[in-house]
Amino acid sequence: MRSRVTSGLAPLLGATLALAGCGNGAAGPDSTPGPESTEPASPADLSADEVYRQIDIDGAREDSPLLWRLDEPADPAAADAVRVVQHLEGLAEAIFAEQQPVAETLALLPYLTTPPETERFEGYARGASNPGGIDLHGPRWYTLLSAETTSDEALVLLCYDIGYWTRDGAEGAPRADGQRSSVTAYRLLAADDDAGGPPWRVDGVAYNNVETADGAPALTEEQVAENEQRCDDWATHTLDDR
């Protein structure tokens, strides 16, 4: 039976992953690995806490904070899934902040993503379209729309306000209403017992909706529309809300 946990709107790349084109359903402009590409790193035996301590979920750039406005789900499995998504967002931001992603940063990916997602992300990060060249900065606000888990799969939906995540950042005007909200869906799979690290791995990232493991849409069209409206209504922050 699937348990559903939904946060209130008072309080998941994510924006970095999907908007930069690294997730499923959003192909980057050139994901071909460059000449210095390597195979995805094999994770060492780190605990979840050890992995998390190496990732700043508040952002790697002073002018581009990740501002989390969410309540942790009461269900422990859902809370663990949300935590993985938060740290993947933080890791994505760290990689994109580096002009040349370093091995130590990329080595954390297998703790948060499945092998196909790790390979896809590494290919983009090391490719000709270097994420460090993305000229977007400014604050991003995140909230949790929902987190659902079964014994082997999880679905996390994040809403972000990207109104000031632009070329001018906090120094410029925000995006127009209707263009500043973004809903991103993350599909996660339960990690193997001997995998080390967190108990979940992200296996897909896409705008609004992702496919389940059996290939079916995770959400109905009505649910997608409802989530978009909730996110539009929430994404109204000003710079005073940092």
Is 62 in contact with 242 (CB distance < 8 Å)? no
Cross-strand pairs, 188: 154, 202
Radius of gyration of the chain (CA): 17
**DSSP code of residue 239:** G
User: What's the mean pLDDT when you consider all of the chain?
Assistant: 81
Element (H, E) at 111: helix 109-112
Per-residue pLDDT of 48-73, as tens digits, reads: 999 999 999 999 989 999 999 999 99
- Whether the model clears a pTM of 0.85, i.e. scores above it, the answer is no
- Overall average pLDDT of the 22-44 stretch: 41
One-letter amino acid for residue 150 of the chain: T
**DSSP code of residue 34:** -
Q: How far apart are CA 190 and CA 114, in angstroms?
A: 10
Is 89 in contact with 52 (CB distance < 8 Å)? no
- Overall average pLDDT of the 120-148 stretch: 78
- Overall average pLDDT of the 228-242 stretch: 95
> Comparing 126 with 236, which gets the higher pLDDT?
236
> Coil, strand, or helix at residue 163?
coil
CA distances from 11 to 39, 54, 68, 145, 158 (A): 39, 25, 8, 10, 11
Highest average pLDDT, of 20-29, 38-47, 79-88, 116-125, comes from: 79-88
Per-residue pLDDT of 210-230, as tens digits, reads: 888 788 899 999 999 999 999
Per-residue pLDDT of 135-153, as tens digits, reads: 788 999 999 999 999 999 9
